[in-house]
Every structure is written in C-alpha cells, then in structure tokens.
Amino acid sequence: MGTEEMEAVILAGVLRRAGADVTLASVEDGLEIEASYGTRIIADKPIAACADQVFDLVAVPGGMPGSVRLRDNEILQRIMVRQAEEKRLYGAICAAPAVVLMPWGLHKGRKITCHPSFIGDLPTFRAVESNVQVSGELTTSRGPGTAFQFALSFVEQLFGPHAVEDVDSTLIDAALERSTEVNRVEWPFDHKPQVLIPIANGSEEMEIIMLVDILRRANINVVLASVDESTNIVGSQRMKIVADKCILDASDSKYDLIIIPKLGFYRV
C-alpha cells in the first residue's frame, strides 16, 4: 500500500519491453495493491514466493507509506541483502534509497541519490543530486520524473546500449516536454474537474498510470472505467490494473475531459 505507481509500472513496463522477465511482488497480505494516488495494481506473486529465487536485478519503487512497508518486510530485506552480498544488480528510487536501503546498510560505500525531500537523510559524503546514480551494483534515482531514465539504466546494464536504443524508440521520447498550445483555449472550472479514462485488456499501462498519477496530483477526479467484462484489466505489458468501475456505470456521469490511452497488441 502506498507504492508510487508511476515508478513501479514504468520500471516493469520498460524492462518487459526490453525482454526481461519481470515479477511484481506484493509485501501485503494480498496481491492487490492500492498505490500512492489510488490506482489499484495486482501483483504477480506474494513476496514469500520469491524468497528462494535468484534474480539478476531487484529494484524497489518509492512512495509513502509504500517505502516504509517495503522496509518493514523481512523477506524483502533478506532478498535485497543477499542480492548485494552476491554482487547482483539492485536499485531503489524516490524515497526508497533513504527509507529502505539505508536501514538495511545497503548504501555503504556507494554514492546514492534519492527524492529531494529525503536527500538530507543521506550521508553527506555519499549523496549526489544526479537523476540516476550507478555505483557498482547499486543504481538509485530521484522520483517519478526520472523513472524512465532509471528503467533505461537497468536495460543498459542488463542488455547493453543497443537495447536502450531499441526500447527508447518504442517510447517515442522518454523526456517530459511541455508543448505549446497554438490556439489557446481557457478551461475555467467552478467545480473539481472530472476526467474519464476508458481502459481495456491490452491498454498501455504506462500511459494509464502516468495520466492517473499526474492528474490526481493536480487534485482532479479521475475515473478509470473498464470497457471489458471485468474491472480487472491486463495491460499490453501484462500488468494487472483494477478499474474504478465498468464503463456502463460511468456512462451516466458528465466529464470535463475524456482521454483514451493506446490499445496495445496483448490481449487476454
């Protein structure tokens, strides 16, 4: 509960595009996770099922209180400590470098970065303010806005620079740019804006999560509505997202904006 959804989904989505076998593991009692801004994501496995597996990479997203809940999970701690001891790749982003890695001692001897809100908690002589910091087997990053760079760094470490070029080309442009509106239109509201995002099996989950996360941060009411039979949706990169309601239940409401994410090739 409380994991930063953009960081988790972008990391998994980019790595799966590169060909990695990615497992989303829940440290909660069930597989369904309510993320920082209310999106519900269904993990692939409970963390206990991963305890004896060997991974080439273990990476933890940030978010609060998600980072605290990750830190307090003993199974995850054992997995991460073993990963570091056996010199395999591990990483953390946002609050997680300070909240998760430091209490476990996995930052020692490394240069690390994290979200600006937590940078003061890092050892002064080890803290850096780069968007992505690779220090030996450890990679850290700053937050949702650097999640693509964080994920692509792992693609390069696991698959090489050519894989980064291949994946980056499918993303169009991982950098966030503000476009200029040519014929500017004012959008005055005397109410909390209402936004509908219809989703289906095969929808691009990174687009869904980024839209929901950013709009909800702006205090906009966002409704994810499934156009399929179930509210449980499997995205194009096989991530499971739970819609807020079905499209029929959403059809009686009025919306200030309707956004349709891309429908990918994966279907269930």
Distance from CA of residue 225 to its chain's centroid?
Answer: 20
Distance (Å, whole) CA 96 – CA 82: 18
All residues at 6 or more sequence positions from 151 whose CB lies less than 8 Å from its CB, including other chains:
10, 11, 13, 14, 15
Distance (Å, whole) CA 152 – CA 147: 9
Strand pairing partners for 234?
Answer: 240
Cis (ω within 30 of 0) for the bond into 161? no
Distance (Å, whole) CA 188 – CA 142: 34
Question: CA angle at residue 104 from 101 to 106, to 5 degrees?
Answer: 55
**Cβ 118 vs Cβ 95: under 8 Å:** yes
* Catalytically annotated residues: 94
- For 20, 30, 128, 155, the CA distances from 168, given in Å and listed in that order, are 15, 34, 26, 10
**Cβ 126 vs Cβ 119: under 8 Å:** no
**Cβ 202 vs Cβ 264: under 8 Å:** yes
Percent helix, strand and coil across the chain, each rounded to 5? 30, 20, 50
